[in-house]
Amino acid sequence: MVKGVIAGFHRASADTSVVACVFTAMGDKAFCTGGNTKEYSEYYSKRPNEYGLYMDLFNAMVDTILFCKKPTICRVNGMRVAG
């Protein structure tokens, strides 16, 4: 999913026919961008190098969204909570 978001925002940013980006999910399932602390505890705590690579990729996704050359709207169905 992270790689797909990066690719999509790169394409939209470079496409002259795109005037804005709308970041949303499909379907009726919940969507969470937060960390899976159980996964981090069980998997990444034993593999710090892999965690570093994952965080590099995650941070690249955030940077790609922030530096997109088009206005970006985050469209959320339902509640949005941030920490």
For the chain, what is the HEC assignment?
A: CHHHHHHHHHHHHHCCCCCCEEECCCCCCCCCCCCCHHHHHHCHHHCHHHHHHHHHHHHHHHHHHHCCCCCEEECCCCCCCCC
pLDDT at 76: 77
pLDDT tens, residue by residue, 32-83:
656 677 877 888 888 989 989 988 998 999 999 999 999 999 887 766 666 4
- Residue 60's domain spans which residues? 1-12+20-82
Interval 23-33 mean pLDDT: 70
Q: Is the pTM of this model over 0.85?
A: no
Domain count, the chain: 1
Gap between the Cα atoms of 15 and 24, Å rounded: 19
Gap between the Cα atoms of 68 and 32, Å rounded: 22
- Residue 9 reports pLDDT greater than 60: yes
Structure tokens at 34: 């937060």
pLDDT at 18: 98
pLDDT at 81: 64
Q: Check which CATH number belongs to the domain holding 45 and give it.
A: 3.90.226.10
